[in-house]
Structure 1
Amino acid sequence: MRMPLFGVLSAVLCLQGVPGLVKAEDAAAPQTAAVAAKEAVFTQEQLDQMLAPLALYPDALLAQVLMAATYPGQVAEAVAWSKANPKATGDAAVKQVANQAWDPSVQALVAFPQVLATLGQDPVWVQRLGDAFLAQPDDVMNGVQRLRHQAQAAGNLQSNQYQQVTVQAAPAPKASAPASSAPTTIIIEPAEPQVVYVPSYNPTTAYGTWAYPASPPVYYPPPPMYYAGSALVAGLAFGTGVAIVSSLWGNCDWGHNDIDIDVNRYNNINVNNRISNNQNKWQHNAVNREGVPYRDARSRQQYGRQLDGAAQRTAFRGDDAQRAQARDKARASMDRAGIERPATSNREARDRVREAQANTPRPAERRAQAGSSRDNLQARQQVAQARPANSAGRARNNAFDGVRSPSSTRAQADRGRISQSFAQRPHTARAAGHQISRPSAPMRRGGGGRR
């Protein structure tokens, strides 16, 4: 006996309210999370590998590096500038590059030449680091904390005369951020607020046994000039401190997995680019990306539309509904008339050119098929050029022949004079092969007999 359709719907509606039954949207929730996990740009293994060389930096310096890494092209320019000015450090160095068209986060890094020397060793690593921070900020910040706990467990992260290491209860994460696996948060600050010591360490040993033997971290040793005679404390080397007052204006916000901005310090060093008090959260500026492509589709969609004048360029190109409708009508008319549509992209245009070239016969085939007058003329010219020149067919000399060869000119003049002298001597005419005319003898009357 079949149940009526109305009864089936009623039964389904009743079962939805029964405890223990899973709704369709609840069942799809884990699948959605799994899809989101698959779409992650970098895995945890990759994040730990790229974060290992700088996860033990002081929080403020780490924040500056993460911000600046989103502008890899400008970081490369700052590296070159720092190499050309190795003695420029601290706030004074930042003021020297105030007129550079760099993001303020990149300008702040010139205060620490040893950091730029490390970043300059692998530009690809810098770009990947910035892409990861833009696409997965929560995973990046959680990865830093995970590595810090590993270094602390290995005995290589503790307070000393160069840094202050503080362990705090992990703040409650924001709703959209994944919960950190570590119950506590490790904060690293300079021992003296206005003197920053940049640590140098080998990531392959600083974190104890590496969790991913197939993907060990890369060690970027800084130039010895910055750490010569430095003190080694618990696996970390500390060189000469850098005195700063306003250069480090960012700091890690571990509760929201983003970066806070100290507006006062920022405005003190960036006098030409001041911000207001409500701009205390860092935002990526797509203009300073300078055309470097974003790695993931989400970042391309989010930041690719923030460029100045994007709306004006769209209107200028005619990308509105009315013009799009007109273009569609024109294309339909071309299809009815059998006219080929114009290419809609550079790639399509290139493909059409290649196809046309592939279908076009070679020059020899064109001459054989068409037999055009132009090809015939070219053939005659080639034959004429191939014939040996003789005295009859030689082209006339122009007024400038022989200018580059005086000896040839003299030889031709001598031959002309000799020819004239022979023409004036009759006895030489026979030798020259010419016919000689002589006067005829007078005829005798009577034929020579007697009269």
Structure 2
Amino acid sequence: MKTFLITVPAAFLALGLLAGSAAYADDDRYDPADEAEQAYDAPFTAAELDDLLAPIALYPDPLLAQILPAATFSDQIDAAARYVGQYGQAARIDDQPWDVSVKAVAHYPNLLAMMDQKFDWTVSLGQAYINQQQDVMDSIQRLRAEAEARGNLSSTPEQQVVDSGGVISIDPAAPDVIYVPQYDPQMVYMEPGYGFFTFGTGFIIGAWLNRDCDWHGRRIYYHGWQGGGWIGRSRLHVRGGNNIYINNRYRTITVNRGALQHDTTRYRGEIRRNVQLRPALPGRPAPSARGGQGTPAAVGTRPPAATNVYRGRDVQRSQPASQTGYGGYGSSRDATTYRQRGQTSRGAMQPVNRAAPAQRAVSRPAPASRPAPSGGGGGGWRQQR
């Protein structure tokens, strides 16, 4: 009996050691989920940001200043799209419990629908804005410079393009209406000449456009409808909603960090694939298979077909998917349409350039005025960091 009592604890001890060894082996075992999590937590490269931002980089600054924060509230974008789809554009958008940026986007149904249908793109855009705000602003400037260099970005009756020493802003030209440009990113950044850039119907400028882009500070800021430029031109035409959108609590741009919990591994993998397949722009080295910089690709070559990775809501029929990369926008059929429609605005495009401002210290913009430019040279915008 005494021997048995000693043997039983020994047996339990042996079993415990075996279990502990097995548990340790399980903990040490490779888990593919860890790599997947690291994949969408890793920063976007400059080339991946260009691919992500290409579809909206040529939008007017006041719209960009609402789109980027709104992209972090993808669930609210979905709710807003369903609400506007059910009740129409005249619905009481201003009274809804969404972030102010989502309410601003909801006033433009086509833009709202695009962000809702391109769900993975919207989530990825929000993640990039949360983690890499300065890189996002740099990418937009890089893309604008490339479109301008190819003659595809100039002032028109719909928009005012101002190049101040290499820092390019795009403002509404009319005081009461803002236009959303329509273009094929694969064409407008790579093909010279007009014909790939046109405009749809103008949308009213309202108090909800209470933000703008501070390109020198590489940030979005609340202007409260104080300042010159397009703000001064439009201020007299803004009616209604002032008590909702003109409020000091919006001085801090709110983002939803919960967007970082969305798994965008698959979509980001496709962006990486598109970047690797797409030929390099002239003067820019092509990325290697590992995402680094390789040798320049031949100008004019076409990449193999990229994959459309947007999910949900029947996007294949509602918005034709691209086979050219650049965020899944545009197709050969779309390019023909853009070219035909763009002929009407081709002759109206005229550049508006301003001399680079004298160099001065960077200062935060005062609430009563648009941010004053600082730094004379604009070459830094085109340097990849």
Conserved? CA contact 1:258–1:282, under 8 Å = no
Cα distance 1:187–1:234, how it changes in 2: closer, same or farther (>3 A)?
A: farther
Correspondent of 1:197 among 159, 170, 179: 179
> Following TM superposition, by how much is the alpha carbon of 1:122 offset from its aligned partner in structure 2, in angstroms?
1.4
**1:273 Cα deviation (Å)?**
7.3
Structure 1 counterpart of 2:49, from 32, 47, 50: 47
Q: Summarize the alignment of residues 245-394 of structure 1 with structure 2, pairs less than 5 Å apart.
A: 245-264=206-225, 269=241, 271=243, 275-276=247-248, 280-284=251-255, 289=258, 293=261
Structure index of larger Rg: 1
CA distance in 1, matches of 2:67, 2:220: 11
Q: Does 1:154 align with 2:150?
A: yes
Q: Any unmatched runs of 5+ in structure 2?
A: 1-40, 226-234, 265-385
Tell me the CA shift for residue 46 of structure 1: 1.3
**How far has the Cα of 1:82 moved from its partner?**
2.8
For 2:49, what is the secondary structure of its paired residue?
A: helix
1:149 alignment partner, SS class: helix
Deviation at 1:263, TM superposition (A): 2.3
Letter in 2 for 1:271: N
Distance in 2 of aligned mates of 1:202 and 1:156:
11
- Superposed, 1:88-237 pairs within 5 Å as 88=89, 96-169=92-165, 184-208=166-190, 234-237=195-198
Distance (whole Å) between structure 2 residues aligned to residue 40 and residue 143 of structure 1: 17
Matched residues in 2 for 1:267 and 1:126: separation? 30
CA deviation profile, 1:398-449 (whole Å, cap 9, x unmatched): xxxxxxxxxxxxxxxxxxxxxxxxxxxxxxxxxxxxxxxxxxxxxxxxxxxx
How many residues end up aligned between the 2 structures? 214
Question: Match of 1:148, SS?
Answer: helix
Cα-to-partner distance string for 1:32-57 (whole Å, 9 max, x where unaligned): xxxxxxx8521112111110110000
CA 273–154 in structure 1, closer or farther in 2 if over 3 Å, else same: closer
Matched-pair contact (CA < 8 Å) for 1:200–1:238: yes
Question: Residues 110 and 273 from structure 1, CA distance in 2 versus in 1: closer, same or farther, beyond 3 angstroms?
Answer: closer
The answer (yes or no) to whether the contact 1:200–1:237 under 8 Å persists in 2 is yes
Which structure's relative contact order is higher, taking Cα pairs within 8 Å and 6+ residues apart?
A: 2
Residue aligning to 2:289: none
**Cα distance between partner residues in 2 of 1:295 and 1:250:** 29
Q: Does 1:241 align with 2:212?
A: no
Helix, strand or coil for the counterpart of 1:55? coil
Question: Gaps (5+ residues) in structure 1?
Answer: 1-38, 170-183, 211-232, 297-451
Is the CA contact (8 Å cut-off) linking 2:62 and 2:212 kept in structure 1?
Answer: yes
Q: State the AA in 2 paired with 1:79.
A: A
What CA distance in whole angstroms lies between the structure 1 residues aligned with 2:133 and 2:72? 12
In 2, the alpha carbon distance for the partners of 1:280 and 1:270 equals 15
SS at match of 1:271: helix
Q: Report SS of the residue matched to 2:198.
A: strand
Contact 2:210 2:246 in 1 (8 A): no
Q: Work out whether residues 210 and 245 of structure 2, in 8 Å CA contact, stay in contact via their aligned partners in 1.
A: no
Distance 1:156 1:105 in 2: 29
**Residue 248 (structure 1) shift:** 0.8
Supply the distance in 2 between the matched residues of 1:261 and 1:107 (Cα, whole angstroms): 15
Question: Which amino acid counterpart does residue 113 of structure 2 have in structure 1?
Answer: A
Q: Which residue pairs with 2:299 in the alignment?
A: none
Q: What's the TM-score once normalised by structure 2's chain length? A: 0.50
Cα distance in 2 for partners of 1:147, 1:167 equals 13
Structure 1's 100 and 292: CA in aligned 2 closer, same or farther, altered over 3 A?
farther
Cα displacement (A) at 1:281: 4.2
SS at match of 1:120: helix
Segments of 4+ moved more than 4 angstroms: 264-268
Give the letter aligned to residue 220 of structure 2: I
Q: Identify if the C-alpha distance between structure 1 residues 41 and 244 changes in structure 2 by more than 3 Å, giving closer, same or farther.
A: same
C-alpha separation between the residues in 2 aligned to 1:119 and 1:294? 16
Are 1:55 and 1:144, in contact at CA under 8 Å, matched by a contact in 2?
yes
Q: Corresponding residue for 1:6? A: none
**Counterpart amino acid of residue 253 in structure 1:** D
- Secondary structure at 2:261's aligned position in 1? coil
Amino acid in the other structure paired with 2:152: N
Take 1:209 and 1:163, find their aligned partners in 2: how far apart are those partners? Answer: 21
- TM value normalised by structure 1: 0.43
What is the one-letter code of the residue matched to 1:128? S
CA–CA distance in structure 1, aligned partners of residues 263 and 130 of structure 2: 9
After TM superposition, give the deviation of residue 85 of structure 1 in Å: 4.1
Letter in 2 for 1:284: V
Q: Which amino acid aligns with 2:261?
A: P
